[in-house]
Amino acid sequence: MSSTVPADMINLRLILVSGKTKEFLFSPNDSAADIAKHVYDNWPMDWEEEQVSSPNILRLIYQGRFLHGNVTLGALKLPFGKTTVMHLVARETLPEPNSQGQRNREKTGESNCCVIL
């Protein structure tokens, strides 16, 4: 991959769970769904073992958060002309916002109960 990224583009270095990486150029107007479709349509040869059946199950993770399909790179305020690292995972559904905290509380038996006297 060339070391210079066009000033009006964002270079994404996508990392699979297996640790394999590949870089793709996107415009700030591209959404997470656009990126998933582009990667699916241009699936790298050395990612063959990780090939998925549909672009709809590809999910991007940025700074520990799943990106919803309509979020654009511009909305994330990613730097132009630079490389940003994201994880790419195959997952049918996205976790509901705040559902993880709820599930963790159920496991620990902790509750956030408030009594007002």
How crowded is the C-beta side of 61, counted as CA atoms within 13 Å?
13
pLDDT of residue 37: 97
The rounded distance, in Å, linking the Cα atoms of 29 and 75 is: 8
Indicate whether 28 pLDDT > 80.
Answer: yes
In this prediction, residues 38-58 reach a mean pLDDT of: 94
Indicate whether 40 pLDDT > 90.
Answer: yes
Identify the CATH assignment for 10-90 out of 3.40.50.300, 3.30.200.20, 3.10.20.90, 3.90.550.10.
Answer: 3.10.20.90
From residue 18, alpha-carbon distances to 28, 49, 54 in Å are 27, 10, 19
The rounded distance, in Å, linking the Cα atoms of 36 and 34 is: 6
Using alpha carbons only, give the angle 72, 95, 63 rounded to the nearest 5 degrees: 50
Indicate whether 91 pLDDT > 50.
Answer: yes
Indicate whether 99 pLDDT > 80.
Answer: no
pLDDT of residue 22: 97
Q: What is the mean pLDDT of the chain?
A: 85
Indicate whether 74 pLDDT > 70.
Answer: yes
